[in-house]
Amino acid sequence: MNFENTLSFAQQLDENDSLKKFRERFHIPQHNGKDAIYLCGNSLGLLPKSARSFVEQEFQDWEKFGVEGHFNAKNPWFPYHHFGRKMLAEIVGAKEEEVVAMNSLTANLHLLMVSFYQPKGARKKIMMEANAFPSDQYAIETQVKFHGGNPETDIIEISPREGEYTLRTEDILAQIEKNKNELALILFGGVNYLSGQYFDLKKITDAGHAAGVTVGFDLAHAAGNVTVQLHDWNVDFACWCSYKYLNSGAGGVGGIFVHEKHSANNDLPRFAGWWGNDEQTRFQMKKGFFPQTGAGAWQVSNAPVFAMAIHRASLEIFSEAGIKNLRAKSEQLTAYLEFTLNDFNQKNPEHELKIITPTNISERGCQLSLIAKKDGKKIFEQLTSHGVIADWREPNVIRMSPVPLYNSFEDVYRVGETLMMINGTRI
């Protein structure tokens, strides 16, 4: 599409947007009495207006039933993790039994590594992308140590080539091939939090499996952002958080995927808890863990109903909008942001905001990551004071993520307009 950097063009795109009504389902933070331009859905998604009534229902049932709410609540707490599971599965391209909402992301990373990182003999190493989110680095480092390994030698980080910001798929695949006899696990991000690069999960999975290696993904920045097909791609396991693109509130419940091919394997090591036990025998309080089938077997504790109530409110919106439709709009919205930024750069080369996220649409989600030629922090602060809520990641990256559920093309146009204004007057 040929874009134009004008307000009327942006408004026309909004007019034609079949998903535009979803913006009204969210509370948009305010700046000087007007809607802020919120581009931080990659960090903390906005509050769905419906979430309050979902939580209120649980308050009412707790008030009314006490412990009997486990069975008598409108949405009984005993099977609560089943509600919303189908919608969650759709978002990550999985079967219902292959996903479950539980715990939080880093805790789940550990639990899944307990099962799927089994260093043996010469195969001890974990491959990951360089510049992964710190929590993932710490989790992987300490898992290696837990098994008596040495993080210095047992973690292989794949870095961009000199002078580049993102990874080439061919380089990832070549490294898998090169290290194939020493790898125990490949654990990559789906979308890298810093560069916004969306990795080729299918190719990485295929290459890993061809080398006899287990492959898992941290989808913190992918879930609800891009369309993944975890089941069809034969991914072994994955996990994600729900407070970024999935709009389920700070510290919200995480989610996991375990491919069904693993669900009959009761020999996998795991750190179990009662909620992962077969539901028929869970309350018999007998000795001997007997896992239920599917990802639910990895549950440790009973479901955090209040966090999951918010999660369900958000999942219903996703289900109504459709993840494929959202992705289609997202591609256009982000392309429009790229266009307005390029226009700014062309007119203001001295303050170029270099886009380090891939230009190829299939290699990115919503997010564009920018490195300023100069005054990066100042530009970021000026944007904030003008109601453009982006974020800053040390040492020098500004991240902007227009989200198709609640951002408009006009929002994106205003980013460019604001940049022009602050460049003219203040930097």
Closest distance of CB 388 from ligand PLP, Å: 22
Tokens of 351: 């303050």
Residue 104 makes contact with ligand PLP by CB under 6 A: yes
- Range in contact with ligand PLP (rule: CB under 6 A) among 4-12, 75-83, 113-121, 131-139: 131-139
- Range in contact with ligand PLP (rule: CB under 6 A) among 67-75, 213-221, 273-281, 383-391: 213-221
Give yes or no for a contact between 251 and 243, defined as CB atoms under 8 angstroms apart.
yes
Among 54, 133, 237, 336, binds ligand PLP (CB under 6 A): 133
Q: How far is it, in rounded angstroms, from Cα 258 to Cα 243?
A: 21
Residue 83 makes contact with ligand PLP by CB under 6 A: no
Tokens of 54: 């979902």
Residue 220 makes contact with ligand PLP by CB under 6 A: yes
- Range in contact with ligand PLP (rule: CB under 6 A) among 122-130, 133-141, 197-205, 289-297: 133-141
344-347-351-352 Cα dihedral, nearest 10 degrees: 60
- Range in contact with ligand PLP (rule: CB under 6 A) among 116-124, 214-222, 369-377, 391-399: 214-222
String of contacts with ligand PLP for each residue 106-125, x by CB under 6 A: x-------------------
Residue 405 makes contact with ligand PLP by CB under 6 A: no
272 contact partners, CB below 8 Å, separation of at least 6: 289, 291, 297, 300
Which phi and psi (to 5°) does residue 139 adopt?
-60, -45
Closest distance of CB 319 from ligand PLP, Å: 23
185-189-195-197 Cα dihedral, nearest 10 degrees: 100
Residue 367 makes contact with ligand PLP by CB under 6 A: no
- Range in contact with ligand PLP (rule: CB under 6 A) among 119-127, 215-223, 226-234, 396-404: 215-223
Among 61, 218, 363, 417, binds ligand PLP (CB under 6 A): 218
Residue 172 carries which side chain, given as an amino acid letter?
I
Q: How far is it, in rounded angstroms, from Cα 184 to Cα 7?
A: 53
The strand ranges marked E within 46-203 are 99-101, 125-129, 155-158, 183-189
Tell which positions 240-259 bind ligand PLP, by CB under 6 A. 241
Q: Is the dihedral of CA 154, 156, 162, 166 positive or negative?
A: negative
Tokens of 297: 């077997």
Residue 105 makes contact with ligand PLP by CB under 6 A: yes
# residues near ligand PLP by CB under 6 A: 12
Count the Cβ atoms, other than its own, within 10 Å of residue 404.
Answer: 28
* Contacts with ligand PLP, residue ranges (CB under 6 A): 104-106, 133, 135-136, 189, 193, 218, 220-221, 241
